[in-house]
A and B are shown apart, each in its own frame.
Chain A
């Protein structure tokens, strides 16, 4: 049952991303291009997504102690601002601006623009692996010390 529900939530998300034109990298770049012919469309997308999530989270956190199909809410527990957050977010922004793809739209757009999506996702896989390896190496160095 859980796989089907996770799949359905993904379908809704991917459908929404495509309806919102997030899967169109040109629309994303036009949105980021504030000094050019700025396309305000994605600002509406972000505002609507945020508003629904903000209100929805408020209601469900105030009414429920635990999620319906799991034992507890698993919220990110980090609260400090560190250099990893800052450097990682800037790196992500540079990558996003270069192609107009971020992770969700690249995956949702795999049948819409397969060539670009597939190359991007494979490269993203390499980036994720590189990060995992660097974490692993740092851990080993620490243990050795």
Chain B
């Protein structure tokens, strides 16, 4: 297959019976799979074979799913097009000249191309929703804490969640039913000690995809339409008025703070990345180059060789943002922006049950077209990153096509409001 969807193709059979029996699943290559190499799209981990399964992978197997391979991705999740992989770019199954979006581009492409029924991706700033939108499939970024992160090779811990991708809302929701829930190995899933419960315990996500939006209030985030491509806005608006004709009430909401979301996101993500990626020293695992010189020299040499340009760029910018003299200017201000964005969303959910935006402000670019200017690439994330900063759930669902290319509609729910969001999304696709 020429589309470069998988880094490793390998069949791993799950339990004989379960809710996913007979279902094939593609797994992003930053989720640990016991005995199957897990590269994160990086030369640094080209030969790394985890000795254990991520919790989500364990749950797939227990549910009877068959894993068909590990999917291509932007190196360590850093990118929006799946072109920064050390194993080469993935082609978009809708149009082979275009990017599938990223960083979970291989996972979205696997579903769009029919190589797997469903797939797992991870979403730090939009990395499940972006490729879902560009490939014309459905992607869900769950509320922070709904799904275990144990065994996920971390990029930015406070932002990222594992999320399902499917060709329908119901398929993606059924996968969420399987992977969500508390995990004693990941304290971030145990959010409610006093109640002793986890929200997934009584939730049925697949059953919520019933298309019933009668009486639901949808808030259109006006601030995020201004900078978007006209063709995207037109398709988005058509889709929103379809929702209205199905009984939803549409209101306009404003989120003043989102103007600062991209800056805040990148400062926080790069800072966390610079700290997380310090683990790649080539001693305990991964590429090792230097044989001479002291530890510092060998370490720096290994990292020069094993890490790609975008990863180096983010490690360096993160190190800079956290360094003495700049911490207050960048990192502290970014945390202020994050708190402001949360407050803004809380206010918006006083007026609406779910919020709607185009998932991506642009149509999928051609391969190679967007890599030269990192800042322009970061700006593509304007509609998705506010959700991660506020730890909220969101879904991207196909809204239609413009010039033959898919356009995604993003619906954002309140904290642990996945069922409402899934219900609304299922009305969009009908």
Whether both chains belong to one complex is answered with no
Could you tell me which A residues sit within 8 Å of B by CB distance?
none
Could you tell me which B residues sit within 8 Å of A by CB distance?
none
